[in-house]
Amino acid sequence: MENRVNVLFVCLGNICRSPMAEAVMRHLVEQEGLDGQIRVDSAGTGDWHLGSIPHEGTRKVLQRHHISYENMKARLVIPEDKEAFQYILCMDHKNLKDVRRIFNLNDEQASNGSTKLMTFMNLLPDSGVDEVPDPYYDGRFDYVFELVEQGCKALLEQIKRGLEQG
């Protein structure tokens, strides 16, 4: 589809935050009937969990909300992602810095061409939070889900406006 929008969520190991965001966004996109127009993926900046399914805490919170994580496996961000995705949302500032390094962008370059590269919490500027905390370390999967769900809803509205204009 010519108006297809590709979204990539990025965290450190691609087993907690970014797959949660991928699953939530896919769910919202399907509910809106836009799965043919919006493709969603996730990746990590570290290689510790390559090929692994989402973390048990992520799986449990998604199951409670009846959201599928089927066929999701951890992968690394690769340089080609810069061209393949229009939205690349990093869960924290370290992930953003690492993605810029992978894409060979200096710190001042927030986006490259048609790609919007930013931290996820830029979607929720009034939240008072500037990073999505890593529940791998603190176990706050429900809190992360709340942030992810709010941010994904905001992102979907932004994408829908762009699709209507495009």
Options 41, 81, 98, 134, the catalytic residue:
134
Per annotation, catalytic residue among 16, 17, 26, 92: 17
Is 64 considered catalytic here?
A: no
> Is residue 134 annotated as part of the catalytic site, yes or no?
yes
Q: Which residue has the tokens 């949660």?
A: 20
CB atoms within 10 A of CB 161: 10
H-run or E-run covering 24? helix 17-31
**Residue with structure tokens 């090929």?**
51
11 flagged as catalytic: yes
- State in Å, rounded, how far the first CA of the chain is from the last one: 12
Catalytic residue chosen out of the listed positions 11, 16, 90, 152: 11
Residues with catalytic roles = 11, 17, 134
